[in-house]
Amino acid sequence: MTMTTHTAPASTNITTSGSRLPVYFISHGGGPWPWMPQMHDYYAQLAASLADIPRQIGRTPRAILMVSAHWEADSFTVQSTPQPGMIYDYGGFPAHTYQIHYRSPGSPALAERVAGLLAQAGIAVEQDAERGYDHGMFSPMAAIYPEAQVPVVQLSLRRGLDPAEHLALGRALAALRDEEVLIIGSGLSYHNLRAFGPQASVPSKAFDDWLAETMLQVDSASRSQRLLDWEDAPAARIAHPREEHLLPLMVAVGAAEADRAVRIYHEDAFMGGLAVSSYRLDAA
């Protein structure tokens, strides 16, 4: 693994546009589901919500910065390879799902810009020139941009999984929205692999209702504080025994902290019983 520590702000050659792009927190689904026809009925609503994102944006972004629940590092680390490979970070799926490729290019220029923004904010950051795409990236991107025409750069979570650090990370990245970079937090609003199906109906709904109230009904300052105190939510540790799938939401909210949220996807009985949701944040 090739790592570069970044300690000084970097200049950017990314131009700005007249309106800010929104920010998304999406549920990315399980494993390589877009490549499994037998799963398409289960994922129909999620797939439709992801496929609608380009229409919602109204233009093609210059690049995408993706914060996936499936990458943790000791410091926030940005992927800087120009052509990332694939990481098949799942098990027990059909053989062909270990041969799939999502061939979007990376963007070393965006990686450098991200590193500069974080360094400017006093956040330690490294670059990784070898890391490939994980399924938290390529599964939803197969639905959002199936032609893989938009460069995508992944940014890690930081081990320790401190909500405040990830909210601050989002704040540091907010300027990218004016530079035609789409920020996507890719996780799941419910992630407990030991409590799936009908047994998860009540706890997932309790947490999902709290999340909807937090995202849709309170002012921005209260929203941030409620997210920092997420463990106080109903069924919080049932919904997220480990919070790596929730933290991409913290990054998304930090990057759009004053903006309103809209729920773009919701199911009450996903995979037989789960209440799950995805959100867009923008100023409109």
Q: What is the CATH number of the domain that holds 195?
A: 3.40.830.10
Whether residue 6 lies inside any domain: the answer is no
Element (H, E) at 167: helix 163-173
Whether residue 13 lies inside any domain: the answer is no
Whether residue 237 lies inside any domain: the answer is yes
pLDDT of residue 194: 74
10-residue mean pLDDT profile of the chain (284 residues): values are 41 48 96 95 96 97 98 98 97 96 98 98 97 98 98 98 98 98 96 79 95 96 96 96 97 97 95 92 85
pLDDT of residue 8: 36
Whether the Cβ atoms of residue 128 and residue 134 lie closer than 8 Å to each other: no
Looking at the 3D structure of the chain, how many domains does it have? 1
Overall size of the chain counted in residues: 284
Please state, in angstroms and rounded to a whole number, the distance separating the CA atoms of residues 172 and 280: 19
pLDDT of residue 284: 65
Q: Which residue blocks in 8-144 are alpha helix, DSSP H?
A: 44-51, 53-57, 108-120, 135-144
Whether residue 223 lies inside any domain: the answer is yes
Please state, in angstroms and rounded to a whole number, the distance separating the CA atoms of residues 112 and 126: 10
Whether residue 116 lies inside any domain: the answer is yes
Whether residue 15 lies inside any domain: the answer is no
With CA atoms as reference, report the closest residue to 227 among 206, 203, 238, 243. 243
pLDDT of residue 273: 87
Where in the sequence is the domain holding 98, given as residue range(s)?
A: 21-282
Q: How many CB atoms lie within 10 A of CB 12?
A: 17
Whether residue 131 lies inside any domain: the answer is yes
pLDDT of residue 3: 47
Across 206-224, b (16+ Cβ under 10 Å) vs e yields bbbebbbebbeeeeeeebb
Whether residue 42 lies inside any domain: the answer is yes
Q: How many CB atoms lie within 10 A of CB 51?
A: 14
* Residue at token pair 């893989």: 148
pLDDT of residue 5: 44
Q: What would the two tokens of residue 139 be?
A: 């599964």
pLDDT of residue 1: 44
pLDDT of residue 35: 97
